[in-house]
């Protein structure tokens, strides 16, 4: 399983990720300061600019726009083909309604993305619709990640990657992930982020 620190526009993010054993990603409309493993499309991407950024950064993992209604199925298939034509090895598809997963052709290069619920968005695939395939968790908090990994595994799926930058927000508010909970401390934002990154990897048993 990979943890991707998805934080564009922050010059310190690649080193923090590297030192903790994480990978580095950005949303496509942010500046990258290192090689990009994951290029996030965001909530409402403009597809032509996104494809230009895919050509520029050559990410290992890129996403198509969210699959929000049944009528989007053909368009989603075309987006997937666009990314295949650009040579993207792993392509993420985020189903956003009940019944969506059954409409996706889960080929070897497809990763099903679950949008962990936050104040911005989110959709968890119902238990009876989960499949034995590979999943990526989009955004959210380490506590949500641990719970969702357990739920997906119980239904035969495998979480192969997670992306989040929650630790940066918590660090700026004077908090660290201590392995069990977010704890208020008296450190610099930089130190808080470093501690949380290491502890998140330990909680996920990735280091």
Question: Which CATH number covers residue 137?
Answer: 3.20.20.70
Q: What is the mean pLDDT of residues 166-195?
A: 96
- Full DSSP string of 116-185: ---SS--BPPPGGG--SSEEEEES--HHHHHHHHHHHHHTT-EEEEEEE-HHHHHHHTTEEE-SSSEEE-
Residue 31, CA distances (Å) to 35, 111, 142 in order: 11, 25, 25
Domain presence at residue 190? no
Domain presence at residue 148? yes
Full-model pTM? 0.95
Q: Residue 128 is part of which domain span? A: 2-165
Domain presence at residue 177? no
pLDDT given for residue 5 in this prediction = 98
Question: Which percentage of the chain shows pLDDT scores above 90?
Answer: 93
Q: Name the least confident of 25-34, 44-53, 116-125, 138-147.
A: 116-125
Domain presence at residue 46? yes
In this structure, what are the phi and psi dihedrals at residue 127, rounded to the nearest 5 degrees? -50, -45
Domain presence at residue 188? no
Domain presence at residue 68? yes
Domain presence at residue 184? no
Domain presence at residue 176? no
Q: Total structural domains in the chain?
A: 1
Do the bridges between strand 175-177 and strand 90-93 make them parallel or antiparallel, or are there none, so unpaired? Answer: unpaired
Packing angle of the helix pair 13-20, 189-203 (nearest 10 deg):
40
């Amino acid at each position: 399983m990979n943890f991707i620190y998805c934080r564009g526009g922050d010059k310190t993010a690649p080193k923090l990720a590297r030192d903790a054993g994480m990978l580095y990603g950005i949303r496509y409309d942010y500046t990258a300061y290192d090689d990009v493993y994951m290029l996030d499309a965001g909530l409402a991407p403009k597809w032509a600019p996104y494809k230009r950024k895919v050509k520029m950064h050559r990410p290992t993992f890129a996403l198509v726009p969210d699959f929000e209604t049944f009528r989007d199925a053909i368009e989603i298939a075309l987006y997937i083909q666009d990314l295949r034509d650009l040579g993207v090895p792993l392509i993420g598809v985020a189903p956003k309604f009940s019944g969506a997963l059954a409409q996706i052709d889960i080929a070897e290069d497809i990763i099903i993305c679950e949008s962990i619920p936050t104040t911005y968005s989110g959709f968890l695939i119902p238990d009876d619709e989960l499949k034995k395939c590979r999943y990526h968790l989009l955004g959210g908090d380490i506590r949500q990640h641990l719970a969702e990994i357990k739920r997906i595994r119980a239904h035969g799926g495998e979480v192969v990657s997670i992306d989040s930058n929650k630790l940066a927000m918590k660090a700026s508010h004077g908090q660290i992930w201590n392995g069990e909970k977010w704890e208020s401390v008296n450190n610099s934002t930089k130190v808080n982020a470093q501690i949380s990154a290491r502890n998140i990897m330990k909680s996920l048993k990735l280091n």
